Structure 1
Amino acid sequence: MPILKWLTRDDDIRAAGSVPYRLLEEVPGLGYGDRDTGNMLIQGDNLDALKALLPFYAGQVKCIYIDPPYNTRSAFEHYDDNLEHSQWLAMIWPRLELLRELLAEDGSIWVSIDDNEGHYLKVVMDEVFGRRNFLAEIIWQKRTSRENRAAIGSSHDALLIYGKMSAQEWKSVRNPLPPNDKGYSNIDNDPRGPWRSIPFSAQGYRPNQMYIITSPNCTRHEPPRGRCWGATEPVFLQYLAEGRVYFPKGGSGKPRIKQYMGEEAGLVPMSLWLAEEVGTTEASKREILDLFSDESPFGTPKPERLMQRIIHIASKPGELVLDSFLGSGTTAAVAHKMGRRYIGIEMGDHAVTHCQPRLKKVVDGEQGGISGAVNWKGGGGFRYFRLGASVFDETGQIRPDIEFPVLAAHVWFSEVRSPWSKPDPLSPVLGVHDGCAYALLYNGILGDKSASGGNVLTKKTLAVIRSALPEDFAGPVTVYGERSALSDASLLREQITFKQTPYDVKARA
């Protein structure tokens, strides 16, 4: 398979492995609504944030959408979009690698791009995801007004779609578009309700579907040239007896079949998405202005209807959606309204000035964008996180300045997939979840002044852990510590799973 070469390629394809592992630190004051929905808004560099998410979400994200800088050599208000070509490739490669690791086996990643880097991106994604896992390229009509100053006006962007399976395999898991409810009527007062007619013909030649059909006014019809009828003659006669056959033009036209409202299967998505179907950049700017009337529109927002279609095709309610270039927050807002869980990552200050206020408005039931179409009334919530310090130094050891609550939050989150609520006072027991207790011996939490600082699992430290557990608790305990002085038989008898720091912590990164 052809590969793309650029100046710093050798370093860039190894970059994801050298990203320092950092913790996610919750900012409770910026979260909103129901905090236990699983929705996350993360402020910070998306490369570091994606690495930090791996221990919690690797292989679990059903739909990834990203709208990276297009490298258009023009400066947007909220992004430095003026990157040299090699710098752009250096930026996108490691992020795609980490996104691939987060993607579910039956998931898909959708990347918005224009023709400045789109063709190079296709070659890079072929290499990162595998050429056989290219699913489609969607052309989105982003504007309808004519751009008179250009040699040829740009009216579209592209969406490159990849997965971890082939297009034929993905077909069985992607969702069709809702049926089109236009064109139904009931001109003959059919008691079965509104209907519309569809052609009664099929491509190709099938001998048992080549016959003469006579209309009520005695007009004889053969199949259209190069086609056959849509079913065998006995099936057609059954349709006729059921009153499902319609002859247009007063009975002289070729037969068509009645399709009643509700009978039509979902529509196969096509590769051309028109502005009238999913909106334009102008529509999306109006949506932002409606939300932030005292703000200038965000430079490159996407309309909610566009994101609605992507999320509908690529996921089901309750599944996880990720956008690591969140921008003005459209992906998270639409995912929230559509009943998906989401993770949004944004680096700049507009994580606070745009994304967080927008999601608060969604929780409160704002009625812009797709709200009416999906009957959104409000509810749910999200948690807000910032990136914490790097956990490990260059030798792989936990940094000495990492405090107990920071590492405890990481251990708890990695085990039970929800943020840790710090108790007061602190205890080596982090909590109990689904019948299992979790404890951390770290950074002198027991007040031990010895060389090991009480970080070793011994009979003495185990007794302290036992005393901190709920009185009626009798289940298994997972203990993180520097080392264990208990025998394997003792660990088994005590229902203890021991995990060594830093190695078992780092292994989960």
Structure 2
Amino acid sequence: MPFIDWVNKNQAKEIPLEVPYHLLQREKTYGDTQAASENFIIQGDNLLALKSLIPFYAGQVKCIFIDPPYNTKSAFEHYDDNLEHSQWLSMMYPRLVLLRELLAEDGSIWVTIDDNEAHYLKVLMDEVFGRKNFVATFAWEKDKGRRNDTDISSAHDHVILFARQRDVWSKTRNLLDRTPEQNARYKNPDKDPRGPWLQGDNGTAKSGSAAQRYPITLPSGRVVTPPSGNYWRFSQENLKQALAESRVYFGKDGDRLPIIKRYLTDVQDGVVPRTWWPAEDAGSNQSAKRDHLRKLLPEIEPFSTPKPEELIHLIFRIATKPGDLILDSFLGSGTAAAVAHKTGRRYIGIEMGEHARTHCVPRLEKVIEGESGGISHAANWSGGGGFSLFTLGEAAFDEQGQLTSSVRFATLAAYIWHLEIGTPGQQDFNSPFMGEHKGTSYFLLYNGILGDRRPASGNVLTSAVVAMLRELQPNPGPMVVYGENTRLGSARMNAEDITFKQIPYDVKMR
């Protein structure tokens, strides 16, 4: 498989491992408290935020949608979109690596981009996600108009789709609902009792096998054979079966070449998505700017090229179901979060600038109030729900690699569990017993979790603590215990099959 190379690529590949793990701080809750516990807006650098999410959400995100800076060499008010090419690639690479780690096995990632970096991004994603997991590149009609002040008027952007595991994703992706226009293509000129039909295999083709050159006797008595160099589009066996099932149409006079029928009642409940998304189906930059943001937030200047809710709704309809977790790490004006909120998906949005507060939060507040813009009518949205605003706190590890005092038990437990097991825990981390994996039990003694905050007791492994841990988890199998220190000798730990790991020295940054 070919790879893309650029200046400082090696350094970019090291960044995911070197990014410090930061704590997330809840600043405020909006709307329903229960719903707000599942929907997050994070204000802060998305690289740091993505790293902070991994202990809790690795392998849990069903759909990632991102609209990164396009590197168009033009100045945007809210983004520095004038990055040199290699810098842009170095910016994207570590973020894609972390996004891949967050993606579920049956998940997918959708990236909007224009021609400036689209082809480089495709090769970059081949490297990160694996070329076999590429699904499609969609052409989205972003602009219905025509510009005459340029050589070529750009009418579309690209949406690049990769799956985490394509063979798994293809079994869970959704079909799109059939439209009345699509159903109207099916006719019933011969009053077939099975209802409307559409022509399937019919006529001749320029390629085929010798077995597909055979004579057919029409109901009129005329015998027809494909012209020289042509072949029937159907085999003799398939035609014979279709005739036996009365699924062949020869025209009203019985003298036309045969058509094998496909009935409306036999088609799938939905239709397979196409790679062409016209503005009528997916909205445009102009419709988003005119109909959505100016109506929703008239006091705020909208982004110059906002993505319409219809576009993201189309993606979510294909890739997710209600209740699934959505992630957008370039949240912009909050469109992906708004669509997820209206359609019953859980969401995490990350935005680094102050407009996380000036754009995203006000927009989602209006969604909670039941605003009628965007896809509200299509989604039958009338309001409700909630979300929380988080910011990035201090790093969990100081420059010497030691834990900072602000790290709480549940946060450290989730981090250690992911460090040991490689996947986030689904359990509540509110006990020294973190969980069992492949016969080994994992424990954490930290922040006085045992109710004894004396330095020589609560966070120290002693015989009394071992007995208490055995009560929490009577499994006689091996134990891994994290704590500040141990009073047990090596012989006792060997006899108890205990592996002790000292905090902070054995808590490594990943």
Same fold (TM over 0.5): yes
Which residue of the partner structure matches residue 327 of structure 1?
Answer: 332
Does structure 2 conserve the Cα–Cα contact (< 8 Å) formed by 1:42 and 1:386?
Answer: yes
Aligned partners of 2:223 and 2:344: how far apart in 1?
53
Aligned partners of 2:263 and 2:10: how far apart in 1?
59
Say which of 191, 205, 210 aligns to 2:208.
205
- Kindly state the Cα deviation for residue 19 of structure 1 after the two structures are TM-superposed: 1.0
Say which of 498, 501, 504 aligns to 1:502.
504
Aligned partners of 1:175 and 1:403: how far apart in 2?
44
Aligned partners of 1:110 and 1:333: how far apart in 2?
17
- Kindly state the Cα deviation for residue 140 of structure 1 after the two structures are TM-superposed: 2.0
Aligned partners of 1:336 and 1:493: how far apart in 2?
53
Say which of 344, 353, 378 aligns to 2:349.
344
- Call closer, same or farther: CA 1:459–1:375 in 2, change over 3 Å: same
| Match runs of 1:189-268 below 5 Å | 190-200=192-202, 204-206=207-209, 209-213=212-216, 222=225, 226-230=230-234, 232=236, 235-236=238-239, 239-240=242-243, 244-248=247-251, 252-265=255-268, 266-268=270-272
Q: Tell me the alpha carbon deviations over residues 368-426 of structure 1, each in whole angstroms, 9 at most, x when there is no partner.
A: 33344455555654443222210112222112xx236x4544535876857989xxxxx
* Counterpart residue type for residue 501 of structure 1: I
- Kindly state the Cα deviation for residue 291 of structure 1 after the two structures are TM-superposed: 2.6
More displaced 10-residue stretch of structure 1: 102-111 or 251-260: 251-260
- Kindly state the Cα deviation for residue 45 of structure 1 after the two structures are TM-superposed: 0.8
- Call closer, same or farther: CA 1:178–1:221 in 2, change over 3 Å: farther
Does structure 2 conserve the Cα–Cα contact (< 8 Å) formed by 1:175 and 1:312?
Answer: yes
- Kindly state the Cα deviation for residue 52 of structure 1 after the two structures are TM-superposed: 0.9
Aligned partners of 1:126 and 1:53: how far apart in 2?
24
Which residue of the partner structure matches residue 292 of structure 2?
Answer: 287
More displaced 10-residue stretch of structure 1: 352-361 or 81-90: 352-361
Say which of 396, 403, 407 aligns to 1:398.
403
Aligned partners of 2:294 and 2:35: how far apart in 1?
28
Q: Tell me the alpha carbon deviations over residues 71-98 of structure 1, each in whole angstroms, 9 at most, x when there is no partner.
A: 1122223222222323322211211221
- Kindly state the Cα deviation for residue 125 of structure 1 after the two structures are TM-superposed: 2.7
- Call closer, same or farther: CA 1:430–1:357 in 2, change over 3 Å: farther
| Match runs of 1:67-466 below 5 Å | 67-165=67-165, 171=170, 174-179=173-178, 180-186=182-188, 190-200=192-202, 204-206=207-209, 209-213=212-216, 222=225, 226-230=230-234, 232=236, 235-236=238-239, 239-240=242-243, 244-248=247-251, 252-265=255-268, 266-285=270-289, 286-363=291-368, 365-376=370-381, 380-399=385-404, 402-403=405-406, 406-411=408-413, 429=431, 440-442=445-447, 448=453, 450=455, 454-458=458-462
Q: TM-score, normalised by structure 1?
A: 0.78
- Kindly state the Cα deviation for residue 145 of structure 1 after the two structures are TM-superposed: 0.4
- Call closer, same or farther: CA 1:394–1:37 in 2, change over 3 Å: closer
- Call closer, same or farther: CA 1:9–1:478 in 2, change over 3 Å: closer
Aligned partners of 2:260 and 2:202: how far apart in 1?
6
- Call closer, same or farther: CA 1:182–1:223 in 2, change over 3 Å: farther
Aligned partners of 1:40 and 1:327: how far apart in 2?
14
- Call closer, same or farther: CA 1:61–1:429 in 2, change over 3 Å: closer
Aligned partners of 1:48 and 1:323: how far apart in 2?
14
* Counterpart residue type for residue 293 of structure 1: P
* Counterpart residue type for residue 389 of structure 2: Y
CA RMSD of aligned residues (A): 4.3
- Call closer, same or farther: CA 1:330–1:237 in 2, change over 3 Å: same
- Kindly state the Cα deviation for residue 349 of structure 1 after the two structures are TM-superposed: 2.4
Does structure 2 conserve the Cα–Cα contact (< 8 Å) formed by 1:33 and 1:379?
Answer: no
Aligned partners of 1:202 and 1:486: how far apart in 2?
84
- Kindly state the Cα deviation for residue 325 of structure 1 after the two structures are TM-superposed: 0.7
Q: Tell me the alpha carbon deviations over residues 51-77 of structure 1, each in whole angstroms, 9 at most, x when there is no partner.
A: 111212223333222111011122223
Unaligned ranges ≥5, structure 1: 422-427
SS, match of residue 232 in structure 2: strand
* Counterpart residue type for residue 275 of structure 1: A
- Kindly state the Cα deviation for residue 142 of structure 1 after the two structures are TM-superposed: 1.3
Does structure 2 conserve the Cα–Cα contact (< 8 Å) formed by 1:441 and 1:457?
Answer: no
- Kindly state the Cα deviation for residue 460 of structure 1 after the two structures are TM-superposed: 6.0
Which residue of the partner structure matches residue 485 of structure 2?
Answer: 483
Q: Tell me the alpha carbon deviations over residues 19-63 of structure 1, each in whole angstroms, 9 at most, x when there is no partner.
A: 111122223424645337743322211000111112122233332
Does structure 2 conserve the Cα–Cα contact (< 8 Å) formed by 1:442 and 1:482?
Answer: no
Aligned partners of 2:163 and 2:128: how far apart in 1?
11
* Counterpart residue type for residue 292 of structure 1: L
SS, match of residue 14 in structure 1: helix
More displaced 10-residue stretch of structure 1: 495-504 or 197-206: 495-504
Which residue of the partner structure matches residue 421 of structure 2?
Answer: none
More displaced 10-residue stretch of structure 1: 441-450 or 94-103: 441-450
- Kindly state the Cα deviation for residue 497 of structure 1 after the two structures are TM-superposed: 9.5
Aligned partners of 2:152 and 2:348: how far apart in 1?
38
Does structure 2 conserve the Cα–Cα contact (< 8 Å) formed by 1:44 and 1:348?
Answer: yes
More displaced 10-residue stretch of structure 1: 58-67 or 14-23: 58-67
Does structure 1 conserve the Cα–Cα contact (< 8 Å) formed by 2:409 and 2:446?
Answer: no
- Call closer, same or farther: CA 1:187–1:201 in 2, change over 3 Å: closer
Aligned partners of 1:27 and 1:200: how far apart in 2?
64
Q: Tell me the alpha carbon deviations over residues 295-342 of structure 1, each in whole angstroms, 9 at most, x when there is no partner.
A: 332233222232233333334454433211111222233334444433
Q: Tell me the alpha carbon deviations over residues 270-305 of structure 1, each in whole angstroms, 9 at most, x when there is no partner.
A: 433333332221122222333323333223322223
* Counterpart residue type for residue 361 of structure 2: Q
Aligned partners of 1:132 and 1:465: how far apart in 2?
46
Q: TM-score, normalised by structure 2?
A: 0.78
Aligned partners of 2:387 and 2:431: how far apart in 1?
26
- Call closer, same or farther: CA 1:226–1:350 in 2, change over 3 Å: farther
Identity of aligned residues (%): 49
Does structure 2 conserve the Cα–Cα contact (< 8 Å) formed by 1:409 and 1:419?
Answer: no
SS, match of residue 153 in structure 2: coil
Does structure 1 conserve the Cα–Cα contact (< 8 Å) formed by 2:137 and 2:159?
Answer: yes
* Counterpart residue type for residue 502 of structure 1: P
Aligned partners of 2:357 and 2:225: how far apart in 1?
67
Aligned partners of 1:384 and 1:296: how far apart in 2?
22
* Counterpart residue type for residue 340 of structure 2: A
SS, match of residue 34 in structure 1: helix
